[in-house]
Amino acid sequence: MKHTSMFFLIFVLFVSLGAINQSYSQSIYFCEGVDDDGEPINKSTRFTIPADGGYLYVLVQLPYEIDCSSVEFEIYRNDKYDNTISMDTESNWTWFWKQITFYKSGEFTIELYDCNDDMIASGTVEIDKD
**Residue 15: beta bridge partners?**
none
Q: Are 60 and 95 in contact (CB under 8 A)?
A: yes
Domain boundaries of the chain, sorted by first residue: 26-129
The lowest-confidence range among 9-23, 32-46, 84-98 is 9-23
Quote the CA–CA distance of 118 and 71 in Å, as a whole number: 10
Which residues, 6+ apart, have CB-to-CB distance to 76 below 8 Å? 82, 108, 109, 110, 111
pLDDT digits (tens, 9 = 90+) for 45-84: 999 999 999 999 999 999 999 999 999 999 999 999 999 9
The lowest-confidence range among 2-11, 36-45, 58-67, 111-120 is 2-11
What's the rounded mean pLDDT across residues 99-120? 97
Q: What is the reported pTM?
A: 0.80
Q: Is the confidence at residue 18, as pLDDT, over 50? A: no
Percent of the chain with pLDDT over 70: 82
Which residues, 6+ apart, have CB-to-CB distance to 125 below 8 Å? 30, 44, 45, 46, 47, 56, 107, 108, 110
Q: What is the pLDDT of residue 104?
A: 96
Class of domain 26-129: mainly beta
Q: Is the confidence at residue 3, as pLDDT, over 90? A: no
What's the rounded mean pLDDT across residues 10-30? 59
